[in-house]
Amino acid sequence: MNDERCVLAYSGGLDTSAIVPWLIDRAYEVHAVLVDVGQEEDLAALCGKALSMGARTARVADARPAMFKTVIPTAIGLAATYEGTYRLGTALARPFIALAQIQRARELGGATLIHGATGKGNDQIRFEFAYRSLAPECPVLAPWKTWAFGGRQDLVDYLRSKGFEDRYEVTKDFSLDENLWHLSVEGGPLEDATACLDVERILENVADRFGGAKGGGKGPASVAITLEKGVPVAIDGQAMPLADMVSRLNVTYRHAPWAWDLVIENRYTGIKSRGVYINPAAKVLQLAADALARTCLNKPMYDRYVDVGAAYGTLLYRGEYFSDQRVLVESSARELMSRLNGTVTMQLEPQPYAAQILAAQPMFRKDIATFERSTDYSHQDAEGFIRLAWLSTIGRSSTEGAYADPVEAGINVASDVCGDQPMPAGGLVSSKA
Ligand code: ARG
């Protein structure tokens, strides 16, 4: 007999459902935690399901308030992404799921921490990094790395053998992860990058998820986002808690043609994967923050903004939330975001763009930007500027044998591919039929 207490991050899906009887078979006392990260599911009903499968206790833990106080505003304010395209939905939530498990384990006076992530993805790393950082005293068990099951069908067969047969969709094509920030869709046709992808068909499969059932898709063609210290505080002049704003934008624009991103990403485990991420609120709010940053930060500070956003995105993606580097990056984030105050009108058709930026402390000067006469700017000043800037940034001319005619030199990146290219007649677009 094992009789050890364990705390399982239970989602109600196939994997964690198979884990419950599997643990009981190994004489564990199972305590399920259903962490509310904004997924649209009946969590109380899922608690019932865990109990009916033999869990000793099952509780809901609400991680949303903590997420909306910490990681979500920072991810928006920094316009943080991973590899420039993935807006981080799953990565934002995992540390908070782990935290809720650890809190439950402490309540129980210690327990083994269990997650249902496979050995192929990033989620196992995110869970286990958090466990190690916060609760090094707790043993960890990841059934996917231990059991003999090889895939989903094995899990269904196992559950059936335990008498839980009719609860699972056997042939779900996609692996989905839903929270307040996004719905991720992976697997199925996305796994083959050589197959010509039809994203519309994938979207049809998940049309009722992530606010889809509540309608939406026909919201106003523009929204004005007011940000304070980089954090959205009002929409169209109406003050609103961030959580309400994110959920409202997600529900309203869930079906908009620009609501999703198709991403090929490099997982931490070395596997390349392709996914569709539905995240309209993230897109609108991050583009608004970035527009404000471009308007309010000088060039070196905007460069830092990009670097810090990328650093935050990468560390979150890699599961380094509970780390010194996250604390460091967030202190830079605070400084950078403190300049981002104002209202950005986002035009949403045909795709989101910052149409108007009313910043409290703008550095954008139309009197200088203008192609017309400026009183504060002399064209002559540029002469000396260019002389000195050239000296410090290039400083060597072709009199020293450098930079000969690039065609003559024949050592261009594409010279072997492009060769002698015929030019279209009559400019870029030929007028002749
Ligand atoms: N590829 C994304 C990430 O690593 C999404 C992962 C979704 N997880 C899942 N269990 N379906 O953040």
> To test the ligand 1 pocket, which listed residue (186, 276, 277) has its Cβ within 8 A of the most ligand atoms?
186
In angstroms, what is the span from residue 241 Cα to ligand 1's centroid?
27
Residue 266 is predicted with a pLDDT of 98
Residues having CB closer than 6 A to ligand 1 are: 90-91, 121-123, 175, 177, 184, 186, 273, 275
| Residue whose CA lies nearest to ligand 1 atom number 2 | 90
In angstroms, what is the span from residue 203 Cα to ligand 1's centroid?
17
| CATH number of the 5-161 domain | 3.40.50.620
Q: Is 80 exceeded by the pLDDT of residue 17?
A: yes
In angstroms, what is the span from residue 319 Cα to ligand 1's centroid?
12
In angstroms, what is the span from residue 179 Cα to ligand 1's centroid?
11
> To test the ligand 1 pocket, which listed residue (183, 184, 185, 272) has its Cβ within 8 A of the most ligand atoms?
184
Q: Is 60 exceeded by the pLDDT of residue 170?
A: no
- Assign domain 175-368 to a CATH class: alpha beta
In angstroms, what is the span from residue 122 Cα to ligand 1's centroid?
7
Ligand 1: which atom is nearest the Cα of residue 89?
12
| Residue whose CA lies nearest to ligand 1 atom number 1 | 275
Residue 106 is predicted with a pLDDT of 98
Percent above pLDDT 70 for the chain = 95
In angstroms, what is the span from residue 284 Cα to ligand 1's centroid?
21
Q: Is 80 exceeded by the pLDDT of residue 171?
A: no
| Residue whose CA lies nearest to ligand 1 atom number 9 | 177
The predicted model gives 56-70 an average pLDDT of 98
The predicted model gives 12-25 an average pLDDT of 95
Q: What is the pLDDT of residues 282-296, one digit of tens each?
A: 999 999 999 999 999
What φ, ψ does residue 379 adopt, rounded to 5°?
-60, -30
Residue 1 is predicted with a pLDDT of 44
Residue 404 is predicted with a pLDDT of 74
| Residue whose CA lies nearest to ligand 1 atom number 6 | 90
What average pLDDT does the chain have? 93
Domain ranges in the chain? Answer: 5-161, 175-368, 378-433
Same fold, 5-161 and 175-368: no
Ligand 1: which atom is nearest the Cα of residue 177?
11
The predicted model gives 110-122 an average pLDDT of 97
Ligand 1: which atom is nearest the Cα of residue 90?
12
| Residue whose CA lies nearest to ligand 1 atom number 3 | 90
Q: What is the pLDDT of residues 298-312, one digit of tens each?
A: 999 999 999 999 999
Which pair of structure tokens corresponds to residue 407? Answer: 């065609």
Residue of 39, 194, 25, 187 whose CA lies nearest to 118: 187
The predicted model gives 321-328 an average pLDDT of 98
Q: What is the pLDDT of residues 211-269, one digit of tens each?
A: 988 876 679 999 999 999 999 999 999 999 999 999 999 999 999 999 999 999 999 99
| Entry pTM | 0.95
In angstroms, what is the span from residue 274 Cα to ligand 1's centroid?
10
| Residue whose CA lies nearest to ligand 1 atom number 8 | 177
Ligand 1: which atom is nearest the Cα of residue 82?
12
In angstroms, what is the span from residue 123 Cα to ligand 1's centroid?
7
In angstroms, what is the span from residue 184 Cα to ligand 1's centroid?
7
The predicted model gives 51-60 an average pLDDT of 97
